[in-house]
Structure formats: structure tokens, C-alpha cells
Homo-oligomer: A and B are copies of this chain.
């Protein structure tokens, strides 16, 4: 397998290249040791319902930071980072539909937005590799496959909808290790939500993910599913807030939070 060329870069270095438009692709495999994060920025009028949604759905939506109203600058997860520029690709939503994708969201930013920074399973991919597990989307150098399931999230106010999961193929003899390694970091989704049978969670065709890229499942491997921070996008599609800015799936915020610091 090939390591990502930014594997050993610092988050600050990579975020600078992103803000300069020099990195616009997906971020799996970058900045080994640092937590990656999903973004969902909503107008203040929706912030209470969405914060409650995250509290009621901590496995797909483990909050790392919530910004002050109108502030583009993060404080704790990536101090000083401009959330409107330091993600490789954004989606601009109105009424539950993606209107455009952009690599710089600053011209779409509004004074009433609250940014929700949510943990991402990319954070535990190197710990899996260090435990001897091939992470297929890294070895194939592509985006992780993500699927909308038939599992309902717990509703909060206007927000509700189906759970989104990411999938990594794991050899039978390494499934237990994959569970224990990821269970150690609940704030980046933690242990898997399902092992083995895609149709049991409403996935009809494992080779056609709803987001990201399909990956090869080899003989003797089982698809293992983790809750995914793209769930808010499934929920935004369903609940149709007037306006929203998210990251584009797989194109994450790379935070300054070390994975080690997330172990409770």
C-alpha cells in the first residue's frame, strides 16, 4: 500500500495548503495521529434543535466543538483556523438540496451561522493500520464508501432522518481487533455499529455507496460499518433547513486534536 503524501504533515501545514487551494481532494490518510472532523454550519434559529440532535445521537454526531454564533474562527479543535476556508471542499445547501460545491465557502458565510465540528472515523484509520489491519480506502488511495442505512436517528425538533455509515472490509480473524481498537475512541464514532450483513441495515448494493468510492472486498473479508459524521447531511436532506454549509463527504477538517487525547 502507498502512504498518503501528507501522512506526516502537521494539521496546520495541510490546512494552509487547503486555504491556498493547493489541496482540494479527500483527506483520508493525512496527518497521522490527528483527529479529522465533519462540519455542519446552521443558522442560529436551528442551533438548539441541532445541538439536541447531536446529544441524542452521540455515535454518529460526537461533537468536538461548537462555535460561537457568527464566528468563523475555531477555538479548541483547531485554534485560529478559519472554518470557511480550511476544508478542501464544501457543500452549500438551501432547503435540503445541495446548490453548489466550492473549495472556499467564505463568500457564502453568514453572521448568524453556528459551526458544529463533529468527529470523523478517519481519525482511527492509522490506529487500525498500526494494529495490522489494511484500511482499504487508504491502500486504494480513494474516498471511504458511505451508505445511507434504514436505521432511524433519534429525532430532536425539526431534525431527524436515516443514519449514514462508513464501511471498511476486515478479515475474519481481525474483526475483534477492529472493534477493540475503535471502541477506545468514542469521540470519533467508536466501535462499529454493524458487522457482516449489509442488507440487515438496509444497504442493497455494497458496490454502490451513496457517498465516496466503492472499495474491493477480498475473499475472507467482512464489511464492517461505523457510524458516520455525514449523517447530518442525510438529516439536512430530510429536515430541509433554509440554509446550511457542510463539508463535502470525505473532505474533512483536520483538527489539532491528537487522537491520543480523545481516549477517555
Binds B, one of A45-53, A82-90, A252-260: A45-53
Q: Are A55 and B63 in contact (CB under 8 A)?
A: yes
Q: How many Å lie between the Cα of A239 and that of B137 in the bound state?
A: 49
Most buried by B among A47, A186, A191, A264: A264
Point out the residues of chain B lying under 8 angstroms from A47, CB to CB: 48
- Minimum CB–CB distance from A59 to chain B (whole Å) comes to 9
Q: Contact partner of A66 among B56, B186, B190, CB < 8 A?
A: B56
- Complex CA–CA separation, A199 to B190 (angstroms): 36
Collect the chain B residues with CB atoms within 8 Å of residue A183's CB: 264
Nearest CB of B to A259, in Å: 15
Q: Which residues of B contact A186 (CB under 8 A)?
A: 186, 264
Contact mask for chain A residues 177-219; partner B; CB cutoff 8 A; 1 contact, 0 none: 0000001001000110000000000000000000000000000
Within 8 Å by CB of A51, from B48, B190, B191, B264, lies B48
Copies in the complex: 2
Contact assessment for A264 and B190 in the assembled complex, using a CB-CB cutoff below 8 Å: yes
Give A48 to B53 CA distance when docked, in angstroms.
Answer: 12
Asked if B48 contacts A55 (CB within 8 A), the reply is no
Please give, as numbers and ranges, the residues of chain B lying within 8 Å of A191 by CB-CB distance. 264
Task: Find chain B residues with CB under 8 A from A54 CB.
Answer: 55
Query: Nearest B residue to A116 by beta-carbon distance?
Result: B55
CA distance A54 to B264 in the complex (A): 17
Task: A264 to B186: give the CA distance in the assembly, Å.
Answer: 6
From A184, which residue of chain B is reached at the shortest CB distance?
Answer: B264
Contact of A52 (CB < 8 Å), options: B51, B56, B190, B264: B51
Give the chain B neighbours of A190 by CB distance below 8 A.
Answer: 264
Contacts of A215-264 to chain B: CB distance below 8 A: 264
Specify which of B48, B55, B66, B264 is in contact with A264 (CB 8 Å cutoff).
Answer: B264
Give a binary string over A63-84; 1 marks a CB under 8 Å from any B CB, 0 the rest. 1001000000000000000000
Separation of A52 and B52 alpha carbons in the complex (Å)? 9
- 3 A-B pairs with least C-beta separation: A186-B264, A48-B48, A51-B51
15 A-B pairs besides A52-B66, A55-B66 with CB distance below 8 A are A47-B48, A48-B48, A48-B51, A51-B51, A51-B55, A54-B55, A55-B55, A55-B63, A56-B66, A183-B264, A186-B186, A186-B264, A190-B264, A191-B264, A264-B264
Q: Provide 16 A-B residue pairs closer than 8 Å at the C-beta atoms, listed in order of the A residue.
A: A47-B48, A48-B48, A51-B51, A51-B52, A52-B66, A54-B55, A55-B55, A55-B63, A55-B66, A56-B66, A183-B264, A186-B186, A186-B264, A190-B264, A191-B264, A264-B264
